[in-house]
Amino acid sequence: MKFLFLTIFYSLFNVNVLAHSGGLNDRGCHNDYRIGDYHCHHRPSPNKQEKFIGIPTVVDGDTIKIGRIRIRLHGIDAPESKQMCLSDGKQWRCGWESTNALANIVGKHWVTCIKTDVDRFKRIVAICRVGPINLNAWMVENGWAVAYRRYSLDYIREEEVSRASGRGLWRGEFIMPWDWRRSK
């Protein structure tokens, strides 16, 4: 009888859930505030989109971290943190400003990222949102990143809007981020 009870118990409950305390959401996931991580106690089924939710750290204009997970924003490319641009004949820190633009829109808000891929550096590639704001589209539309046509055609319209209005990078001259990285 004891064996039958244990068999039923283990089949009904994922034993990993019992590894530590903390409320789980309906997907079996939760935040572990001790280490600043969000994780799940099961593998998502193949037909469900994998999500990452948390208050991120901004790495640069197209990369964030939620806990220990690095997430590259899908379909966009922002200038590198040390990249410089020209406006009215003067250099300005466009990479730094791009990073700050993303940090300012994120603030201390929760971000939800839906995985689209994994890149060659083993980063999650995702579409991320703060509430209703698609961060990928917002960065391009405000001129702090460009549409990364090599990987996606999703943000071309937003790039055309920012270019026409001279926002962000488009207020002067700059080297496309992928060309700048190649030169370094």
Three-class SS state of 147: strand
- Residue 101 contacts residue 142 (beta carbons within 8 Å): yes
Q: Give mean pLDDT, residues 142-164.
A: 97
Between 65 and 2, where is the model more confident?
65
pLDDT tens for each residue of 70-91: 999 999 999 999 999 999 999 9
DSSP secondary structure letter of residue 173: B
CA distance 45 to 43: 6
User: Residue type at 96?
Assistant: W
Domains of the chain: 16-48 (no CATH), 50-183 (2.40.50.90)
Q: What percent of the chain has pLDDT over 90?
A: 72
- Residue 111 contacts residue 66 (beta carbons within 8 Å): yes
pLDDT tens for each residue of 130-143: 999 999 999 999 99
pLDDT tens for each residue of 16-46: 333 444 565 555 555 665 655 555 555 444 4
pLDDT grade for 184, boundaries at 50, 70 and 90: confident
The pLDDT of residue 9 is 42
Task: Judge whether residue 60 has pLDDT over 50.
Answer: yes
Residue 67: both structure tokens together? 């806990």
H/E segment holding residue 158:
helix 156-165
CA distance 70 to 20: 24
Three-class SS state of 172: coil
Residue in the block written with tokens 């001129």: 143
Backbone phi and psi for residue 116, each to the nearest 5 degrees, phi listed first: -115, -25
pLDDT grade for 6, boundaries at 50, 70 and 90: very low
